[in-house]
Amino acid sequence: MSKARATIGVDGRPLPILPPQRDERVWAKLVRIMFYTPGFLAMLLLKAGEPGAFGITVELLMLSSAAAIVGGLYVGTQASKEGADEVSKVGTWSGSLVLELLAVVPLLCAIPGLFHELAHSRLLHATTSTVDVTLGASELLPMMAILPFMLYQIAGFGTLSYVVPKWVNWVINILILGLILASYTANREGEYGLEKRLASTLIVLMALTVLYGILKLKQMQTQYDAQCPPKKEK
């Protein structure tokens, strides 16, 4: 069983509540998955889709893939033993924040539009068969992945819940859900200009949140070490 983290510093004041220690090996494996998956989906769309109907889907997929590499850089700096400073101690948490908000969120935003385009691709459905290939409501199934992600964020699994107040966490995640749904609706309606503005707003929001979150984690770790200096190993 893991040892409980101190809650009161040597000065008698409450310590900042840091995220729990996480296995950086798991996050490193996720980096590989998040690097290859969006790239594969982008190539699939470029191969089978209609360029005029891509909207901002390809850009979102490429951002997801690139952000995974950046997240991996943060995870790779993680250190907790001798020589570790306040920056290296928050490497995994910072990397997880990048992956959650700048890799997973763009992917979730891109998936509904991607599937809609593939479902209506003239290239994929060019056939003389009389079988009706219209998917109807089942076209919305890929969007269901958004729901467990919202639960992940709001229930406190996500790193964001440790760097912002609970109500701010709710507001940010409601905005994520609303902007994803709005951009998908714009894509279905062929309003690609509106889709790009909505998706761009979402990405700017995520980028600012990640920037704030990483700096906040570093500040919290610095304050924690100042109030509760780590014991030197014998």
Pick the residue with more confidence: 230 or 63?
Answer: 63
Which of 56-60, 76-80, 99-103 is predicted most confidently?
99-103
What's the rounded mean pLDDT across residues 191-216?
Answer: 93
Q: What is the pLDDT of residues 29-69, one digit of tens each?
A: 888 888 888 877 777 767 665 555 566 888 888 899 999 99
How far is C-alpha 183 from the chain's CA centre?
17
Q: What is the mean pLDDT of residues 131-150?
A: 72
CA torsion angle 99 159 92 148 (round to 10): -50
**pLDDT score at 88:** 82
Mean local confidence (pLDDT), 121-130: 53
Give 23's pLDDT tier (boundaries 50, 70, 90): confident
Q: Which residue has the higher pLDDT, 3 or 229?
A: 229
Three-state DSSP class for 107? Answer: helix
pLDDT value at position 178?
95
Distance of alpha carbon 218 from alpha carbon 57, whole angstroms = 33
The string over 37-65, giving b where at least 16 C-beta atoms fall within 10 Å of a residue's C-beta and e elsewhere, is bbbebbeebeeebeeebbbbbbbbbebbb
- Whether 83 shows a pLDDT value over 70: the answer reads no
Q: Which helix (H) or strand (E) holds 97?
A: helix 91-98
Report the percentage of the chain scoring pLDDT > 90: 37
pLDDT at 128: 47
d(CA 56, CA 10): 52
Per the prediction, the chain carries an average pLDDT of 82
Q: Is the pLDDT of residue 139 over 70?
A: no
Would you say 141 and 119 are in contact if contact means Cβ atoms under 8 Å apart? no
Of the two residues 94 and 131, the one the predictor is more confident about is 94
Identify the residue with better confidence: 53 or 229: 229
